[in-house]
Amino acid sequence: MAKKKSGNIKEFEYRAEMKQLLHLIVHSLYTHPEIFLRELISNASDALNKVRFRMLTDSNVHDAETDLGVKITLDDKKHLFTIEDTGIGMTESDLTEELGTVASSGTLDYLQKLKDAGQAIEGELIGQFGVGFYSVFMVTDEITVETRHADPEAPGLRWKSTGQGTFTIEEIEIPTRGTKISFKLKKDNYEFAEEWRVKNIIDKYSTFVEFPITIGDEKLSRVGAIWQQPKNEITDDQLNEFYKYIANDTEPPLDHLHLNLEGKVNFKALIFIPQKAPMMFMREREEKTLNLYANKVFIQDDAKELLPEYLRFLKGVVDTEDLPLNVSREVTQSSPVMQKINQVVVNKVLGLLADWAKKDKGKFERFYKEFGQYLKIGINMDFTNRDKLIDLLRFETTKTANDELISLREYVERMDSKQKEIYYLTGEERTTVMKNPNLEYFKKNDLEVLLLHDPYDVMVVPSIPEYDKKKLQSIEKADLELKDSEEQGAEALNDDLSKPLIKVFKETLGDKVANVIESKRLVNSAATLVAAKDAMDAQMERMMKMMDENYASQKKILEINTRHPLIKNLARLNLGDSKDPVLRKSIMQLFEGAMLISGNLEAPTDFVERMTDLMTKATK
Ligand code: ADP
Ligand code: MG
């Protein structure tokens, strides 16, 4: 960060990334300019929470007696807007590092992508990206921040910026703790210096801020801690508004849980399930989830110990009497109270989901479409609740209609008494999976097969050994115990013909395959590739290759259909001359064709050349 000094004023340059972001904000953010007020009040409220928390454990705080609150002053003649708080304030490094920095590099990429795709960047979303403060540039050309940190030694500081690439900082005399932000509104935004308009925005976005807000001399009324109120005294509207406030969402939640636990662990909680999954799934900037309160005092806004990682899409508040009031963050982290609350919350949430699955399928499916991947991740993380999570899985199968999903329970209930295993097949999408030759036997024998095409299914399902005492079995495996179908139509080759043919297959393919065997599963196709008993399925391998280009594929087993006319013809050629070039080429062609179908054929040139050659011979 370049630094220039003129007199008492130091000039700083924004980092390249921040400059780009500012450019995007100033030039592409048009909708909902009023959002700047929500962001400023939310920052003031964060700062007030921080100083209140600090005072619990540290008596050495400047202005310890000052009331905690937010004050807004408007001048509708001169179009001036000022907001002050008695929060924790900022040091010089807060101003350069926290205020002047993008929280996550993903943020910029994400916004840039939206812009490149010609989509409007919604002003409402800005707070979610950790750059809420800069939304003020939607309504002004220059911002002044005057601040004094709670540390008694900290100096008063004035920060100024026009958002054009630089900002300045100078030391000034400020007697009281906290932060004052002021600016002159742009011509189009004069409305935000009018009292009725500002009150109206605060009503819409900030009714749940816990600290008093005053405009001029008037103290606005606050709603307060709604999770402390009895269930029947809270309206749906209040719940929805509260959710929008804490989750920074524009839509109401899908549903909520209001908990009031007394006994081994005591806490009240409001837990919301959003309608939509977070935009950056399991990426970089972690989602803020549950706010933790101890006896109505805010402790922290993202208490990681309260939820397992896979449920971190939940939003809400937990307020407990079981933590000491002068609690520090270290204490909360190691407290068994947190662990107990975590268990109860997980149980209640999974219970609610199971309930929907039973009584409100539509709702469950809406949830599953958005958050199914989180549950799948949970299966290999939360062994206590593994079975409950497995019961929540939903699949397409060879027998489901478009968009229909079934559970493992339903699959098992539909199984014929003779069927002993649960079959699945992995692949990229339904249409290609349905054409996989490995399915032929199952179609013919009317056996249902789960179709896994979500990458998380492909990773998770093989780690589930059995369900309801029935083994989960990939039908791409060589060790399938298949019965010979009763009426297969054509006769299979006898051993005298098939054994020598298999020998030539092995000779021709060499170490390209692990083995060549006679197939029981093929009906219409001549050959297929299957995985050895402990090997990965084709789709899993494809995913491994995408992640690691040096990944070496495991060798497959080639199964050939000795009822197929082509295989019979090859056996006949083999009887004449085992070195016959058409025989050898056909074998290579069958192998590479099967590779092609499983999506693992790397260079198709040889394949095409050979095909041309064979066609030339066939058309002579
Ligand atoms: P976020 O609130 O998501 O961190 P913002 O852009 O709104 O992102 O704010 C950036 C940072 O600037 C805050 O994290 C905080 O450190 C600091 N900040 C902003 N406003 C205030 C304030 N009123 N008092 C103290 N610190 C503030
Ligand atoms: Mg903020």
Pairwise CA distance, residues 136 & 44, whole Å = 14
Nearest ligand 1 atom to the CA of 131 is 6
Let me know: does 34 contact 201? Beta carbons within 8 Å. Answer: yes
| CA–centroid distance, residue 98 to ligand 1 (Å) | 7
Pairwise CA distance, residues 503 & 476, whole Å = 23
Nearest ligand 1 atom to the CA of 94 is 16
- CA torsion sign for 196, 198, 201, 205 is negative
- DSSP code, position 302: -
The string of pLDDT tens digits covering residues 298-321 is 788 778 899 999 999 999 999 998
Pairwise CA distance, residues 93 & 149, whole Å = 11
Pairwise CA distance, residues 127 & 43, whole Å = 10
| CA–centroid distance, residue 122 to ligand 1 (Å) | 20
- Report which protein residue has its CA nearest ligand 1's atom 20: 43
Crossing angle between the packed helical segments 581-597 and 565-576, to the nearest 10 degrees: 150
| CA–centroid distance, residue 47 to ligand 2 (Å) | 10
Q: What is the dihedral of CA 231, 232, 237, 240, to 10 degrees?
A: 20
Please provide residue 336's backbone torsions phi and psi, each rounded to the nearest 5 degrees: -65, -20
Domains along the sequence of the chain with CATH: 2-186 (3.30.565.10), 226-366 (3.30.230.80), 493-531+552-620 (1.20.120.790)
Token pair in block for residue 507: 């000779």
Q: Which residue has the tokens 């006994």?
A: 263
Let me know: does 305 contact 333? Beta carbons within 8 Å. Answer: yes
Q: What is the pTM of this model?
A: 0.75
Pairwise CA distance, residues 506 & 163, whole Å = 70
Which residue blocks in 168-216 are alpha helix, DSSP H?
A: 195-205
Token pair in block for residue 336: 């068994």
pLDDT of residue 280: 62
Among 43, 138, 147, 183, which is best to mutate for testing ligand 1, by the most ligand atoms less than 8 A from CB? 43
Q: How many CB atoms lie within 10 A of CB 235?
A: 10
pLDDT of residue 131: 75
| CA–centroid distance, residue 42 to ligand 1 (Å) | 9
Residues flanking ligand 1, CB < 6 Å: 39, 43-44, 46-47, 85, 87-90, 94, 98-99, 130-133, 179
pLDDT of residue 275: 96
pLDDT of residue 199: 94
Let me know: does 311 contact 378? Beta carbons within 8 Å. Answer: yes
pLDDT of residue 486: 55
Pairwise CA distance, residues 91 & 9, whole Å = 16
The string of pLDDT tens digits covering residues 495-543 is 999 999 999 999 999 999 999 999 988 988 999 999 888 788 878 888 8
- Report which protein residue has its CA nearest ligand 1's atom 8: 130
| CA–centroid distance, residue 351 to ligand 1 (Å) | 37
Q: How many CB atoms lie within 10 A of CB 281?
A: 12
Q: Which residue has the tokens 């209609």?
A: 401
Nearest ligand 1 atom to the CA of 127 is 3
| CA–centroid distance, residue 301 to ligand 1 (Å) | 14
Q: Is 375 helix (H, G, I), strand (E, B) or coil?
A: helix
Give, as residue ranges, everything with CB less than 5 Å from ion ligand 2: 43, 132
Positions of the chain with pLDDT under 50: 284-285
Let me know: does 562 contact 492? Beta carbons within 8 Å. Answer: yes
